[in-house]
Structure 1
């Protein structure tokens, strides 16, 4: 048995192999990578099934049978990655190079490194011949980085039966992370996500010759007012269940002035001065998960330099906090902040996630992290990004972001997702694989 277990590929090798598939989305072309995972699992005796809306962009659903003593557990991971065009990389982004104790390449963090940990855990359990308490389902999907239409959304809408009786799902953490000066090592467990509501605001004013001063209601002046109203990208501060618990637990782990500041911000998220002692990165994160955000990103205006445009449109990336917040309420708040009439079109409206689910499974995730890293602190967190975790709750599945990594102080690796020189430490990958293995062995 020991010989068989030793022969299973480890997370480092798997991460390198996965990164070497160029699955840039768009266009995606994830098929070769998905087929590689299918072959790997099939050769180990794990049942697999390919489900595809687009043959070039398939999804894999694999099932490791359990002992029938618990509901099935879902692990899900996407293999598509964002583009690298226009970025300067130290090592080629699809090389999977092992340099300086790191695996380099697009997807190392988001999220082929995490998938490697899941695969290593499944392969080790299979080699041990020790079935988990319940079936483990692994969904390897396409298209997460561009809306999930042929990936997780397709699975949820057209193949929901594949996830019958699943109670809990574990996927990526969306880059959620805090450093807090490196005083304690923090392990995020994402319990809620902000959801995307992308808008196009259009407003009108008198067109005319650009050689004259413009009236107060001219479209360019309205644009200036809108940009000024949204200069920091945030709307009014709010408390949420997930945010309140996160700040409470962070404060408990950091007694003294830092903990007091976190409690002060928890009790009054309008008091951003409470975050002055934090790094700019950490302060921005905490502000972002205590208010809806609205960032102007694309402006369309004018056709000629000497003509004042009579119409301007602005695309706005809106992100709503988890909780009972509606798109209509968000638009009303945006219009009130701007202070002038505008037409608003909804371009994208993300799925609403239910509130955070704390309980035995969350405690299990936290327990796995505490056992693997006694000096670390598991923390419930909200991610500002949207992931496939927004989709599986439609099937009644409580979803969590769980990307266990053993990281030291210094470079915030989670900030490298979508960035040049994305990489992950070797020790972090092996730590993650160990945590996934322990989760499968100890579930429920």
Structure 2
């Protein structure tokens, strides 16, 4: 059995390569919708390591890179899943060194995705690579799935791979930033656009019925009231169940009745709440509004922009226990499981493929990932590699 001491020595010996790979990824722009260059960097690296990557695209130019390392003995399949896309740079503020610098200053590496989540993805790739070089022979296999589109609900990424049967396994890990704790529960949610239409006309004359803007405003008010009714904090997880109206739009000139209006809804769910029930409650409000205004046509179009189930992984799952043990053995300290708002592709994998998949990485998600100077300590990145290597040895020996 490979020891933690041997793992730490290997990571230190290959430190420059590990950091260089992280830099190369940070220097490759990959804002959601533009992941092609990052996919090539990832596929080329995996190919050089002998992993024979395959690229799958639901949408042209938006790669999902899949590779499997198969051992010589039968056993379980461990699944890595992480996203290559990142938030766009902050408008008007490029940060100290620019969003794609990969610059290292005072022990930190800077760049968009340093935390969310190229740091975790690169650590997982390096962990798998270094174990392979050390001669580790997994009992089973390691499946790597590095995807596009996570920040836009994953329809062209993880959801697509799950639907195609390309993500299957016994357990796995999503290396999203969790501040060094094991995330086993997070919120789910859905995003919907509701559109109303009407006749147009010049505002010097009365509208023949009800214009689209008035319908949209009435719908928004009814949905805001629904949000007040459903908003609650789940005492077990500390996660909010809530509905928010986040956008409205209508009209294109000052003196014409608008012919179209839309309202956008963000609905967050706690573990135990169902996506189908959330859709039903929204549609019920819209249908009640339609019935209450029978003198006008309150028909609406209902477009689901994206949805994702809540994450729920049992704290007693073997993958959770092994991860807690790996953290202890590498760091000498203790960590725990927790829940939070936000979401990850792991919930689609748990729900769609039945693979228990918590989130874990030593990185400060909410303190870094949306800010101009997103950065990660190099020491945390290297610790993640060590913990991931230790986890794989525990899972597949």
Q: TM-score range by the shorter chain?
A: 0.7 to 0.9
CA distance in 1, matches of 2:302, 2:171: 35
**Pairs within 5 Å for 1:24-423:** 24-30=31-37, 33-53=38-58, 56-66=61-71, 68=73, 70-84=75-89, 86-88=91-93, 89-158=95-164, 160=165, 162-164=166-168, 166-173=169-176, 187-200=181-194, 202=196, 223=217, 226=220, 230=224, 235-237=229-231, 244=236, 246=237, 286=238, 289-297=239-247, 299-305=248-254, 312-332=261-281, 340-341=289-290, 343=300, 345-352=302-309, 355-358=312-315, 359-387=317-345, 389-391=347-349, 393-405=351-363, 413-423=365-375
Query: Once the 2 structures are TM-superposed, how far is the Cα of residue 325 of structure 1 from its aligned partner?
Result: 2.3
| In 1: Cα distance, 2:231 partner to 2:75 partner | 41
1:440 is displaced (CA, Å) by 0.7
Q: 1:338 to 1:234 in 2, by over 3 A?
A: farther
In structure 2, stretches of 5+ residues that fail to align are: 1-5, 291-297
Separation in 2 of the partners of 1:133 and 1:191? 29
Contact 2:86-2:112 within 8 A present in 1 as well: yes
Give me the whole-angstrom Cα distance separating, in 2, the residues matched to 1:300 and 1:204: 14
Whole-Å separation in 2 of the counterparts to 1:76 and 1:381: 19
Name the structure 2 match of 1:17.
24
Instruction: Tell me the secondary structure at the aligned position of residue 95 of structure 1.
Output: coil
Q: How far apart, in 2, do the equivalents of 1:421 and 1:38 lie?
A: 27
How far, CA to CA, are the matches of 2:170 and 2:36 in structure 1? 31
Q: Which residue of 2 aligns with 1:425?
A: 377
**Residue pair 1:101, 1:426 contacting (<8 A) in 2 also:** yes
Deviation at 1:415, TM superposition (A): 3.9
User: Which residue number corresponds to residue 268 of structure 1?
Assistant: none
How far off its partner does 1:304 sit?
Answer: 4.1
Q: How far 1:69 sits from its partner (Å)?
A: 5.6
Instruction: Tell me the distance in 2 between the aligned counterparts of 1:150 and 1:209.
Output: 43
More divergent stretch after superposition (98-107 vs 226-235): 226-235
Q: Compute the TM-score of the two structures, normalised by the length of structure 1.
A: 0.70
Residues 196 and 317, structure 1, Cα contact 8 Å, conserved in 2: yes
Question: 2:310, 2:343 within 8 Å by CA — same for their partners in 1?
Answer: no
Distance 1:314 1:45, change over 3 A: closer
* Length, aligned pairs only: 377
Tell me, in whole angstroms, the C-alpha distance in 1 between the residues paired with 2:337 and 2:167: 28
1:368–1:3 CA distance, 2 compared to 1 (3 A) = closer
- Measured after TM superposition, the shift of residue 74 of structure 1 is 0.4
What SS class does the counterpart of residue 372 from structure 2 fall into? coil
User: Scaled by the length of structure 2, what TM-score is found?
Assistant: 0.78
Shift of 1:353: 5.3
Q: Is the 8 A contact 1:197 1:327 kept in 2?
A: no
Supply the distance in 1 between the matched residues of 2:212 and 2:47 (Cα, whole angstroms): 64
| CA displacement at 1:396 relative to structure 2 | 2.4
Q: Could you say what secondary structure the match of 2:383 adopts?
A: helix
Secondary structure in 1 aligned to 2:36?
Answer: coil
The two structures, once aligned, show a CA RMSD in angstroms of 4.0
Q: Secondary structure at the match of 1:189?
A: strand
Where do 5+ consecutive residues of structure 1 fail to align? 178-185, 247-285, 406-411
Q: Is the 8 A contact 2:195 2:260 kept in 1?
A: no
Q: What SS is found at the alignment partner of 1:294? A: strand
Give the Cα–Cα distance (whole angstroms) in 1 for the partners of residues 359 and 10 of structure 2.
33
Cα distance in 1 for residues equivalent to 2:284 and 2:10: 65
Q: Is the 8 A contact 1:199 1:318 kept in 2?
A: no
Answer with 101-110 or 218-227: which moved more: 218-227
- 8 Å contact kept, 1:192–1:356: no
How far has the Cα of 1:235 moved from its partner?
4.9
